[in-house]
Structure 1
Amino acid sequence: MRTLTILFAAALAFFAAKSEAAMDIAAYQSQATTDNAAHGRCAKKAVNATECVQRIDWAVREGYITARAGEWGKANGFYPVVDFYDRTVGAVCKCGCFEASTLIRVTKGGKVVDVEAKDVDNSYGLVALSKDASLSALSTETFEMKARTQGSEESKLYVFTLEDGSELKVTQHHGMLLGDGTMVAAKDVEAGQTMLRADGVELSVAAITREATNQDVYNFETSGAEAVNHIIIANDILVGDLTWQNQLQAELGQVIVRQ
């Protein structure tokens, strides 16, 4: 009987310790802001939305974060990265990607080409805006690929149909450059706003729909040092790379490219 009592007490102490150690919603939000603003903190750990949800559910179940923190993480696309050595949440990172057939502007062998996202690997250079790019002069240069992510996607993609009939399909947290130079998440774009074609032409968003996909989604990160160096070209439209889901997330809503 005494042995059972001791075991029961130990179990209670274990679950109490897990509960006390769980990161609450305020701490989770604070760490998400800090980690995604710190260069190099999350880029290597980025995952797709399906895995984001799986990691969040696991962290809640194991007592690393509270249920409320998990709900906020799912709603806003932030997943915990757990340090298994000291059993703590080491970072809180963001996710978001391109649909598989999206044409990404890259270079190989000195030539600039558009290649489907599913076929782009680290043998290609990524074409992105240069440091001195402006809305009136969208100059570009080639950067090495620093990171590449791939994975399945349960949430429906955002499908943007532009006034010229072109389309772009991305996950909800993907960074989108608006015509006024502001970067926002895909889920925050509204019909009637404009996006920029690579040649500088401003195109109105004619329609926004949602579409499921059973293919993997992809994203890439340039090696550029400036925020504008992380604006790449997809389906001939200027959009953010992986960095805008991670380190630069705190800068969403701000003007990134000026006149």
Structure 2
Amino acid sequence: MRSLMILFTTLFALVAFKSEAAMDIAAYQSQATTDNAAHGRCAKKAISATECVKRIDWAVREGYITARAGEWGKANGFYPVVDFYDRTVGAVCKCGCFEANTLIRVTKGGDIVDVAAKHIDDSYGLVGLAKDASLSLLSTNTFEMRARTKGAEESDLYVFILEDGSELKVTQHHGMLLGNGAMVAAKDVELGQTMLRADGVELSVASITREPTELDVYNFETNGAEVVNHIIIANDILVGDLTWQNQLQAELGQIVVRQ
């Protein structure tokens, strides 16, 4: 009997410790904001959306984060990086999104150029829509890069072929700007809807297919203060940056660029 009491006491203490040690949703959100604003802190730790879910589920199960923190992490694309030395959440990081060879419009040495996602490092800036951009005048501005991520992707990419033959490959949760000014996730784009070329031409989506990739996927984030500043140019098409996959996910489905 005494042995059973000791066993129950020990188990209760372990459960209590686990509960007390779990990072709650407020702390998780705060650390996500801090870690991803710290330039380069999470760049080499970003992983796929599939792996994000696996790591979040594991962290909840092992008591590193609460269930509510895990739900927020899945909804917004933030996963915990656990320090196994002191058994704490060392960082909260983001996931990747563009296929490796996607051409991203960037700035380098004062020039605006299109560079494959896999070749972009912290020395580049990003081209995004300006604060006063509208569907009738898609003015752009240049921004510093707040963050960049890369990681493997287990789920098939979404491959969009537009009416002019242009192609864009992204992961399922990537923000895509439609011709009516609304931002939606790639998985919610439908045939016949339109996307916007950087010069303002509206192009119909002619084909949507799925394709696996063995290459890392990438994403980037501008330091813009306005929602529209987080619309960048990939393969000459206007799409969302990393912010749309995370902090602005609740805005998906809404009109973000007006006439």
Identity %: 74
**Alpha carbons 1:100, 1:118 under 8 Å: kept:** yes
Secondary structure of the residue aligned to 1:243 is: helix
Indicate if the aligned counterparts of 2:195 and 2:238 stay in contact, CA closer than 8 A: yes
TM alignment of 1:99-178, pairs within 5 A:
99-178=99-178
- Is the contact made by 1:181 and 1:257 (CA closer than 8 Å) also made in structure 2? yes
**Runs of 4+, deviation exceeding 2 Å:** 1-5, 12-23, 38-48, 63-74, 76-88, 93-96
Map Cα deviations across residues 160-188 of structure 1 (whole Å, 9 max, x no partner): 11111111111111111110111111111
Q: Distance in 2 between matches of 1:41 and 1:248?
A: 17
How big is each residue's C-alpha offset from its partner over 1:168-225, in whole Å with a ceiling of 9 and x where there is no partner? 1111111111101111111111111110000000011111111111111111111111
- Looking at structure 2, the residues matched to 20 and 120 of structure 1 have their Cα atoms a distance apart, in angstroms, of 41
- Counterpart contact for 1:60–1:67, Cα < 8 Å: yes
What is the alpha-carbon distance in structure 1 between the residues aligned to residue 37 and residue 154 of structure 2? 21
Q: 3-state DSSP class of the match of 1:126?
A: strand
Instruction: Give the RMSD, CA atoms, in angstroms.
Output: 3.5
Provide Cα deviations, 1:45-79, integer angstroms capped at 9, x if missing partner: 583324302322312321356789968966x5644
Unaligned residue ranges in structure 1 (runs of 5+): none
Q: Distance in 2 between matches of 1:99 and 1:189?
A: 18
Alpha-carbon separation, structure 2, partners of 1:21 and 1:107: 44
Unpaired stretches in structure 2, ≥5 consecutive residues: none
Residue-by-residue CA offset, 1:110-168 (whole Å, 9 max, x unaligned): 22111000001111111111111111111111111111111111111111111111111
Q: Which amino acid aligns with 2:251?
A: E
1:9 CA displacement: 2.9
DSSP 3-state at the match of 1:56: helix
1:81-133 deviation per Cα after TM superposition (whole angstroms, max 9, x unaligned): 47989968x97x76451000000011212221110000011111111111111
The answer to whether the Cα contact below 8 Å between 2:128 and 2:231 also exists between their aligned partners in 1 is yes
**Contact kept in structure 2, 1:77 and 1:95, CA below 8 Å:** no
Q: Distance in 2 between matches of 1:77 and 1:224?
A: 19
**What letter is aligned with 2:158?**
Y
Closer, same or farther: CA 35–19 of 1 in aligned 2, 3 Å: closer
SS at match of 1:104: strand
Question: TM-score, structure 1 length as denominator?
Answer: 0.81
Q: Matches of 1:72 and 1:110 in 2, distance apart? A: 39
Is contact 2:183–2:256 with CA below 8 Å preserved after alignment? Answer: yes
| Aligned position for 1:214 | 214
Match of residue 181 from structure 2: 181
Give the letter aligned to residue 170 of structure 2. V
Equivalent residue for 1:194?
A: 194
The number of equivalent residue pairs is 250
Are 1:239 and 2:239 an aligned pair?
yes
Amino acid at match of 1:240: G
